[in-house]
Amino acid sequence: MISEISLHKISIPLVEPFITSLGRDDDALNVVVCIKTDSGMVGFGECSPYMPINGESQDTAYLVGQYLAKVLLGKDPLNIKSIHQEMDALIYGNKSIKSAFDIACYDIAAQEAGMPLYQFLGGNKTKTITTDYTVSIGDPDKMAADAVKILAQGFPFIKVKLGKDGRTDVIRMQKIRAAVGPGVPLRIDANQGWSVEEAIETLQALAPLNIEHCEEPIARWNYMALPRIRKASPIPLMADECLGDENDAARLIAIDACQYMNIKLGKSGGIFSAQKIIRLAEEAGVKLQVGAMIESRLAMTAFAHFALSSEQIVHFDFDTALMLREDPVEGGIRYRPNGVIEVPDSPGLGAKISTERLQKSESCRFIT
């Protein structure tokens, strides 16, 4: 049973500002959840709440996490379905902080089973996880120069943030394609920045540039227009912000909105709901990406374990932990050359925040 829960604010400056059509981030403002059981097990989870996407901030996640902690003390962390029922009965939404509790419970459950998390989730290591690396939106020439740097670092896939004026976005991509050459796979993410007509015009104009896919071209609330864009677009579409939990996935599949869906545990509320999305995607033949906000290697390790749980997951967007000026994580995934990610085989998550870093953080603790 859960005997202790602590919450910690972890704030880490970025090496460079991370800029999308939704705004600019200079720091990762995350919350870490540590759950201890009466049998001595310890599980870690982390979230990176982002106000424009999931309506949460570090402060709100930290506060709501305290309500959740009080409810979950004394509960069985292995009964993850019940854990989610308790959290959802207490408060609607707040998927980001709920995902941190979810990850911590899965960490404990996999340790209890003596398995690495990916194996506990039914996965294996038959595929290689290779992350892309992202170019922030800005001046077209700077974006092209940044893409060249990413290529020089060995990353085989380049993701580009767009969504600030479709015509300028075309110029941005033309300059990037000219700078990196014709063979480098390019992926784009408009982060809801275009109107419907602008999306169609922009995607058609980008057709000669050999773009792999486009994430969230229009406002999330306007997802019913995605089938129209999909029909007109030479570039496959990937749902992101409009895909939260399995209910969103079912709606998108029902209207044939996109060829891909991007799962983020901070949007789904954790692994429990994300597994339901996988099952729906497998039935519908929709391919998946697992993505991230601005988490450290702690949550990124959970994402990588999860990404090994289904062959339906074919794309991996795990670069943001590399953008942090500090790495507070012990164990966890390792970034190898050419974007390859090595997932640990120790029981559970195989990652934790260092005790020294936790002691420096603003924190609160609840015990039975």
Residue ranges, comma separated, of all CATH 3.30.390.10 domains in the chain are 2-114+355-367
User: Has domain 2-114+355-367 been given CATH number 3.30.390.10?
Assistant: yes
Give the residue among 130, 149, 184, 162 at the shortest CA–CA distance from 318.
130
Residues known to be catalytic? 161, 189, 215, 240, 264
Give the residue among 137, 134, 132, 103 at the shortest CA–CA distance from 120.
103
| Rounded Cα gap, residues 274 and 249, in angstroms | 10
User: What pTM, to 2 d.p., does this model score?
Assistant: 0.96
Angle at 292 (CA atoms; ends 41, 324), nearest 5 degrees:
85
Q: Which residues pair with 368 in a beta bridge?
A: none
Q: Are the beta carbons of 61 and 9 closer than 8 angstroms?
A: no
Number of Cβ atoms within 10 Å of the Cβ of 178: 11
Instruction: Say which CATH class 119-342 falls into.
Output: alpha beta
Beta strands 362-367 and 158-161, pairing class? unpaired
Backbone angles phi, psi at 49, to 5 degrees: -60, 145
Residue ranges, comma separated, of all CATH 3.20.20.120 domains in the chain are 119-342
The tens-digit pLDDT sequence of the chain (368 residues) is: 999 999 999 999 999 988 888 889 999 999 999 999 999 999 999 999 999 999 999 999 999 999 999 999 999 999 999 999 999 999 999 999 999 999 999 999 999 999 999 999 999 999 999 999 999 999 999 999 999 999 999 999 999 999 999 999 999 999 999 999 999 999 999 999 999 999 999 999 999 999 999 999 999 999 999 999 999 999 999 999 999 999 999 999 999 999 999 999 999 999 999 999 999 999 999 999 999 999 999 999 999 999 999 999 999 999 999 999 999 999 999 999 999 999 999 999 999 999 999 999 999 999 99
Q: Are the beta carbons of 173 and 211 closer than 8 angstroms?
A: yes
Q: CA-CA distances (angstroms) from residue 367 to 3, 47, 230, 302?
A: 6, 22, 51, 25
